[in-house]
Amino acid sequence: MADLFGTQEQAPRAEETLAGPLADRLRPQTLEQVVGQEHLTGPEGTIGRMVAAGKLSSILLWGPPGTGKTT
């Protein structure tokens, strides 16, 4: 039986492998990697200020399918 609190080697995440889906491999990992919408994600933007302050609230994103709202 595996130790419940011990360290176990985990399988690499999908975005860390070449076999993972392209969307997972290209998904931004930091706010700085998000392209476009600088008026929202930049240091003076609404989302940028919330992240810097460490006070995130709920955000509703709207747009056509395939534009990255979920990611």
Cα 58 off chain centre by:
15
Query: Does 15 map to a domain?
Result: no
57 inside domain:
yes
Residue 14 lies in a domain: no
Q: How many independent structural domains does the chain possess? A: 1
Q: Which of 22, 4, 5, 6 is nearest to 14 (CA)?
A: 22
Domain containing 37: what range?
A: 30-71
Residue 9: inside a domain, yes or no?
no
Q: Which residue has the tokens 């130790």?
A: 3
Q: What is the pTM of this model?
A: 0.56
Which parts of the chain sit beneath pLDDT 50? none
Span 19-38, pLDDT tens digits: 888 888 888 888 888 888 89
- Which helix (H) or strand (E) is 45 found in, with range? none
